[in-house]
Amino acid sequence: MGIDWLKQAVIQSEKLHPYIPGKPIAQMLRELGLSEQDVVSRIASTVKLASNENPYGVSPKALKAIQQTAIEAHRYPDGDCFELKQALAKKHGIHAEQLLIGNGSNEVLELMIRTFAAAEDEVIYSQRGFIVYALATTAAGAKGVAVPECDGFAHDLDAMLDAVNERTKVVCIANPNNPTGSLLKTSELQSFLDKLPSHIVVILDEAYVEYVKNEIADSIHALKHAGLVVCRTFSKAYGLAGLRVGYAVANQDLIAVVNRFREPFNVNSIAQAAALAALADDDWVIDKVGQCKAERTRLELALADLGCLAAPSFANFVLLQYQDSLSLVKKLEQEGVIVRPLAPYGMADIVRVSVGTYTENDAFLRALRKVLP
């Protein structure tokens, strides 16, 4: 009996393919076979462009809040994230009850999928959609339906509609999408939602929305669908990836149901304070997003010049096309630059390069020119 449940757990766990994150700098250096001393000495000169973080750091206001809150670390955090919810509600012109705050938007995505999809249910996502949708679906015991893209990069909304059946419970769409960088227009999304049965939960993952403020309307108000869940994060433009704060905006009845599945203190106090302060530092976010987009253009022009731009991107990364991408990634690592091969997404010839600071991008381009034949 004891062995049976263990076996069951093992069988279930074997269906899960662990998420492969961007390599931490020290790990990459150890993998090069360096001594611990050399690892330490090379950390500062290594450039990591593998996790779509904000390369400009933490906003000074958020940093101050982190320092001020650290002294309270012996206390449990506010399990309801009251102040952060109030600030987000004000920013978005919604009720605080429409918000669910998570330990990164990753947790929010998992909670949504776990709440609404179980065995026998289906979750639809793009084949090259964010990999966490597939992982969370398998973990929930539901069936994932991965729909191919139109041209290898853009969501095929018609094909996603065709995949809907009576078992469909959730559809996940990232806009802009990671890892393909593609963007759907607001009108395309609304016409998709118009054709979708209203009981289906649609997770619209807007982790990179700050980079497309000029291109699309604000989905929270522009899009209409009873089961629409808009997910956002403080990990990208807000520069707080290490603290893990993300949130969902949806109908308050839907949020109330998901909230029951949430761990009571899922967002720590330092993260809550930092997110609150970062929200109040709009100028910093706008400035850094502007710099990032200018650098993205510079990188894309350079890649196009080298004949290896895969497709334009609307997020904070660019896409490099190269036949032998895994060996290119290894060579770049030897030159002190970590980037992300997209082979786990079935894109064996594409490498995703997060936009860094001017200096980091220069280091990447220098290394690339050196290792390309």
Q: Which of 199, 127, 110, 111 is nearest to 163 (CA)?
A: 127
Q: At closest approach, how far in Å is the CB of 5 from ligand PLP?
A: 31
Q: At closest approach, how far in Å is the CB of 288 from ligand PLP?
A: 17
For residues 279 and 240, give the distance between their C-alpha atoms in angstroms, rounded to a whole number.
11
Look up tokens 């290896």; give the residue.
Answer: 308
Q: At closest approach, how far in Å is the CB of 171 from ligand PLP?
A: 15
**Cβ–Cβ < 8 Å for 250, 98:** yes
Q: At closest approach, how far in Å is the CB of 134 from ligand PLP?
A: 13
Q: At closest approach, how far in Å is the CB of 354 from ligand PLP?
A: 10
Residue whose CB is nearest to ligand PLP in the complex, by number: 104
Q: At closest approach, how far in Å is the CB of 114 from ligand PLP?
A: 15
177/325 with CB nearer ligand PLP: 177
Q: How far lies 321's CA from each of 145, 219, 270, 307, 361, in Å?
A: 27, 31, 40, 8, 17
Q: Which of 173, 229, 210, 245 is nearest to 315 (CA)?
A: 210
30/114 with CB nearer ligand PLP: 114
Q: Which residues contact 43 (CB under 8 A, 6 or more apart)?
A: 25, 26, 29
91/366 with CB nearer ligand PLP: 91
DSSP for 234-258, written as a single string:
SSSTT--GGG--EEEE--HHHHHHH
138/235 with CB nearer ligand PLP: 235
272/302 with CB nearer ligand PLP: 272
Residue ranges in contact with ligand PLP by CB under 6 A: 52, 104-106, 130, 174, 178, 205, 207, 233, 235, 241, 246
Using alpha carbons only, give the angle 70, 74, 75 rounded to the nearest 5 degrees. Answer: 100
350/371 with CB nearer ligand PLP: 350
